[in-house]
């Protein structure tokens, strides 16, 4: 009976894996086949990727812009939520729980409703039409979830670890840097992964905050490619763009998968 149950579990897992991978594999297949994919008009080829590379400011430029935005968003989110999560989980101060609940309440507000105020704020800071400004906006949108994850990750660690470090002569910052950060590494990676995926695939915020075509991120460039001119759409290049956009996300997820799973497990131990 145990063998039958194990076999059924494996078969079900394999079927779900195929179901989720099929759209991506079909997109990859479509980007390499068809009349527009080969120079001779048939068979296999990379002509779709060549046209994508030459579209607008170039695929490389859009990838760099997206990477810059994602890097800013991930860095700000990880640093802010790590320090904030430690403070909320470990440091007693008046209004700690209220501050945590108010931060989580932001999740109930549709983020599109705060884009206009953020646009005005970036204008005051001189960061409109800026990749750094866009990265800061996306970091703000990830703060509630990141704070929740890091607060739970720090709360799941034994208090004795920090007390032992303090007895050995570490300061609070030293204990955090040398001892606690290693224990909450899965939570940090989880927050970074979610922030990266959200920033890499975000469309609405770049549409509002970026006006210079040379600064467009990849999702925004693909939308313009999909719009086409005079009603014509280059579906082959669009399929190639979807593959180019998805592959970095898949690669990052596969590299950080074990930390991602451990981060959710440790974050769920205490609430």
pTM for the full predicted model = 0.84
Residues in the chain: 271
Q: What is the pLDDT of residues 194-222, one digit of tens each?
A: 999 999 999 999 998 998 888 999 999 88
What is the number of other CB atoms lying within 10 angstroms of the CB of residue 202?
A: 22
- Report domain extents, the chain: 57-267
Check if the beta carbon of residue 186 is closer than 8 Å to that of residue 153. yes
CATH match for 57-267 among 1.10.3720.10, 3.40.50.150, 1.25.40.10, 2.40.30.110: 1.10.3720.10
Residue 123 — very low, low, confident or very high, per pLDDT cuts 50/70/90?
confident
Mean pLDDT score of the chain: 83
**For residue 67, what pLDDT is reported?**
95
Determine the 3-state secondary structure of 202 from DSSP: coil
Cα–Cα distance between 79 and 71 in angstroms, integer?
Answer: 12
Q: What is the pLDDT of residues 46-85, one digit of tens each?
A: 788 888 888 888 888 999 999 999 999 999 999 999 998 8
**For residue 268, what pLDDT is reported?**
42
Angle value at C-alpha 253, between 221 and 241, nearest 5 degrees = 20
CA 99 to chain centre: 25
What is the number of other CB atoms lying within 10 angstroms of the CB of residue 101?
A: 9
Residue 16 — very low, low, confident or very high, per pLDDT cuts 50/70/90?
confident
What is the number of other CB atoms lying within 10 angstroms of the CB of residue 79?
A: 12
Residue 227 — very low, low, confident or very high, per pLDDT cuts 50/70/90?
low
Angle value at C-alpha 107, between 93 and 181, nearest 5 degrees = 50
């Amino acid at each position: 009976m145990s063998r039958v149950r194990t076999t059924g579990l494996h078969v079900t897992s394999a079927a779900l894996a195929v179901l989720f991978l099929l759209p991506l594999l079909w997109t990859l297949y479509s980007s390499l086949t068809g009349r527009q994919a080969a120079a001779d008009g048939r068979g296999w080829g990379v002509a779709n990727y060549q046209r994508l590379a030459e579209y607008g400011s170039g695929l490389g430029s859009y990838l760099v812009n997206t990477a810059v935005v994602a890097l800013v968003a991930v860095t700000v989110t990880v640093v802010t939520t790590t320090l904030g999560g430690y403070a909320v989980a470990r440091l007693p101060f008046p209004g700690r729980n209220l501050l945590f609940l108010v931060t989580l309440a932001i999740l109930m507000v549709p983020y599109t409703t705060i884009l206009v105020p953020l646009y005005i704020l970036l204008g005051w800071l001189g960061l409109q039409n800026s990749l750094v400004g866009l990265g800061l906006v996306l970091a703000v949108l990830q703060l509630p979830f990141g704070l929740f994850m890091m607060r739970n990750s720090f709360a799941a660690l034994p208090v004795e670890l920090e007390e032992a470090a303090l007895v050995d002569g570490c300061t609070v910052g030293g204990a955090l840097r040398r001892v606690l950060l290693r224990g909450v590494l899965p939570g940090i990676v989880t927050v970074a992964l979610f922030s990266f995926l959200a920033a890499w695939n975000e469309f609405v915020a770049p549409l509002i905050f970026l006006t210079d075509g040379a600064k467009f991120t990849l999702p925004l460039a693909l939308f313009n490619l999909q719009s086409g001119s005079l009603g014509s759409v280059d579906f082959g290049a669009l399929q190639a763009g979807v593959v180019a956009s998805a592959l970095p996300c898949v690669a990052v997820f596969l590299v950080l998968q074990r930390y991602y799973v451990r981060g959710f497990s440790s974050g769920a131990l205490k609430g």
